[in-house]
Amino acid sequence: MPLLTQSDLGTENHGVANGHTTLRHLHDPSLAASLQRKFLGGHRNIKPEIAWRQVCQRWAPGFEDLLDFGVNSGLYNPDDPLERMVFHHIFILWLQKELDKFRLHFNNSKPRYDRNKVLPHERPDNIFECLEDFGTVDFSVKVDPNHLSSVRNQFAPPDHFVFDLVPPEFFQLASQFEAEMGNPEVTEDNIWVIYSELVFYFHAVEGQDDLNVALSARSTEPAPPGGLGVDDDEFMPVLDLPPYRNGNQVIGVAVTAGDSGFEGEGTGSAYSDTENMNYSSDGSEEAGIIFTPGGSDNEDMY
């Protein structure tokens, strides 16, 4: 679990902020008077924005073309409740699998070397699994499974309808029809064919009570296009707590050229040519850890 999370402003982030803050409070009661979330407006949420731009530029275009094909050719009408549910049932699961493949590829790919970068140059998964091999220290908070279950049940109960892509009655019928079709594997080449066949099966039983119940279980859209407002039953406000406390921050691990675990000579850090003092949070010396007050304004902080 990260010590602090950040995101753009938006009601879609309230649940994540509340869940993470509550978890942090359960593991560290001294934080009980502060929100462990930073809401950044404009273009200040740099890291997530970079990651999202990479997804939009490197992953999304081909899939957008595929989706547009179905709409433009008349295969899919998003205003038709039946077609929309079939679309959700097939496409969302498939797109999630494709996103998982992109994530695995990204996390197991070595980035291009940058001599101005202080952080390790290696595959992200390797760094995450073997921090000590790259001259880094693990400051993450290990989550108690009991606390995690409690917070999940409070802010994201597993039985909430939002976790059902389609109503249970519709899912049962769709699974039955897919079995009759031979449970074909969904791919980019056949996904619209499978969608069309499944829509045909549903039209054949149109008017049945089970299908009518399923279609009436959902509104035209899962949520309003502009998000939930304060008057909606499902709206979740952010916990009424002061902003997080920004105390002394860890700058990094003191290393010397040739013994850094990083690629290239030295670290390239602004601190490389200066003498660093090592302190622990309680004031006692602890070799290798550099603390400086007011670290949030330091461009070299990581």
Residue 168 lies in a domain: yes
Distance CA 135, CA 262 (A): 8
Interval 118-127: pLDDT, tens: 878 889 899 8
What is the reported pLDDT for 90?
95
Share the mean pLDDT of the chain.
Answer: 76
pLDDT in tens, 27-64: 888 888 889 888 877 666 677 778 888 888 888 999 99
- Is 258 domain-assigned? no
Q: Which of 118-122, 206-210, 297-301 is predicted least confidently?
A: 297-301
Decide if 96 is inside a domain. Answer: yes
Name the band, by pLDDT with cuts 50, 70 and 90, for residue 218.
Answer: low
Q: In the numeric block, which tokens belong to residue 120? A: 């390790």
Average pLDDT for 210-233:
58
Domain total for the chain?
A: 1
Instruction: Tell me which of 88 and 294 has the higher pLDDT.
Output: 88
C-alpha 8/C-alpha 42 separation (Å) is: 8
In a domain, 227, yes or no: no
Query: Which pLDDT belongs to residue 214?
Result: 67
280: left (phi over 0), alpha (psi -120 to 50) or beta: beta
Alpha helices by DSSP H, the chain: 14-27, 46-58, 60-72, 81-87, 93-107, 124-129, 145-155, 168-180, 191-204, 209-216
Q: Is residue 2 part of a domain?
A: no
CB 255 within 8 A of CB 261: yes
Per-residue pLDDT at 274 = 35
Quickly state the pLDDT bin for 260 (edges 50, 70, 90). very low
Q: Which domain holds residue 187?
A: 55-139+157-220
Establish if 165 belongs to a structural domain.
yes
Q: Which of 252, 302, 296, 298 is nearest to 278 (CA)?
A: 252
For the chain, give the longest Cα–Cα distance.
78
Q: Is residue 33 part of a domain?
A: no
**Residue-wise pLDDT tens digits, 97-108:** 999 999 999 899
Does 82 fall in a domain?
A: yes
- pLDDT, residue 286, reads 41
Given a cut of 60, whether residue 270 has pLDDT beyond it is no
Task: Indicate whether 8 pLDDT > 80.
Answer: no
Q: Tell me: pLDDT of 174 over 70.
A: yes
pLDDT at position 256 over 50: no
